[in-house]
Amino acid sequence: MSGVGTPELLISGSASPHAYALKPSDALKLDNAQIIFWIGPALETFLQTPLATLGAAARIYALADAPGLTALPLREGGLWERHEHNGENEFENNEIENRREAIDPHFWLDPENGAAMAHAIAGVLAEADPERAGRYRGNAAGFAGRMAELDAELFERMRPAASQAYIVFHDAYQYFEARYGLMPIGAVNISADRPAGVRRVVEIRDRIARTDVKCVFSPPQFSPRLIAVLTENSNTDRAVLDELGTDITAGPGLYEALLVRLADGFLSCLAG
């Protein structure tokens, strides 16, 4: 929308899209909107009812439906065994069978998906405002070009981290991991809204004790206390990963800054 207008952001800062409570100002934004973009109900579950009422007059577009988007099946939390297949790393959950019909909604952590979503957004905006269609599509093309350059840069930067095993607190990084060949071996939490129980903590501690786990990563909004318990009496390091860019200023540069920050977070612990 650069050169045309500025979109309204519904969720900002460290608020989680999994369990957000709408404020009156948010309801007003939805009520006044002509177009509403969201990932979809798999991520922003809180929006399903408001969109059916407050956003009824707007065009609602789920970015999960963007043409060209690569979607991956949702992995269950737990421990994944590493396998070698055709020279590539694959991970298979050894506890709960993957729900193949469920899609991991963290699409944005693959820059190719970012470009696909930008093109989809430009198409919707062009239909709504045909006089400025060229501007929208031109902006999307420029963004896609920057994403291709950043993608090539990240491929090179992430090489030193590719052979290091690690555990994440919440399984939100599958797209980034798959894109750059990283080696996660498990997640602490079953899902974003299902905290780890005692059995899970014991399993993770046991895996850390008998495996060369380089690092345990947690999001900035989670307490480090559990991470400290998991890594106690081990050589495993701790670090923070932020898939939402909670402290990055909202604006045109947020997405690129988010991916660079995520790469920095992985590298600081895995290749430091």
pLDDT tens for residues 185-236?
A: 888 876 655 666 777 778 888 888 887 889 999 888 766 677 777 888 888 8
Predicted TM-score of the model (pTM): 0.87
Please indicate, yes or no, if residue 51 is contained in any of the structural domains.
no
Number of structural domains in the chain: 1
pLDDT tens for residues 83-113?
A: 333 334 444 443 333 333 588 999 999 999 9
Please indicate, yes or no, if residue 94 is contained in any of the structural domains.
yes
Question: Residue 244 is part of which domain span?
Answer: 77-102+161-270
What span, in angstroms and rounded, lies between the C-alpha atoms of 121 and 136?
Answer: 8
In the chain, the DSSP E strands lie at 35-38, 59-62, 73-74, 78-85, 88-93, 99-103, 165-168, 183-187, 213-218, 237-240
CATH of the domain at 208: 3.40.50.1980
Please indicate, yes or no, if residue 231 is contained in any of the structural domains.
yes
What span, in angstroms and rounded, lies between the C-alpha atoms of 165 and 59?
Answer: 43
Please indicate, yes or no, if residue 86 is contained in any of the structural domains.
yes
